[in-house]
Structure 1
């Protein structure tokens, strides 16, 4: 089962957010399951077209996902997925 982890910055919006193991190997299904647990999280991560928002990054292992539009990157059963706010500024 893939493990989903989050940066501490997201706890500001979702204080109960914690690491979770999910059965799915599809990123869209994982986001839907996370939405069921943490209402509003999916809307924070993806826009109205289902594309990854500019202020969010998702890593599978140590690789940034390549497909920000349809989230079709391959997920293995033992992968770690990291969802985090993209940081910017000067």
Structure 2
């Protein structure tokens, strides 16, 4: 099963889950996660269901480029990292 890892930056707002899923793509994995952790959705996706500008996702070490469909394929043992991009100086 694919494993979703949320970075601890979100920990100041809520408990940060570690989620395992058998979803075939990123959208399915995120939807499964949000079903159990609905507050997390607003930190990751915008009102249209697209990835927020300040969030980046890596699947097996590769940054996702598609921010609307979120249809990147997941392998059975994929490692998915969801991070808030940091800015400032």
TM over 0.5: yes
**For 1:39 and 1:59, how far apart are their aligned partners in 2?**
21
**For 2:72 and 2:31, how far apart are their aligned partners in 1?**
16
Structure 1 residue runs of 4 or more that deviate by more than 2 Å after TM superposition: none
Unaligned runs of 5+ in 2: none
Unaligned runs of 5+ in 1: none
Stretch of structure 1 that moved more, 31-40 or 50-59: 31-40
Structure 1 residues 40 and 18, CA, compared in 2 at 3 Å: closer, same or farther? closer
Q: Counterpart in 2 of 1:24?
A: 23
Q: Counterpart in 1 of 2:5?
A: 5
Give the RMSD, CA atoms, in angstroms.
1.2
Query: Residues 59-70 of structure 1 correspond to what in structure 2 (within 5 A)?
Result: 59-70=58-69
Report how many aligned residue pairs link the two structures: 89
What is the TM-score when the length of structure 2 is the normalising length? 0.90
What SS does the corresponding residue of 1:40 show, helix, strand or coil?
Answer: helix
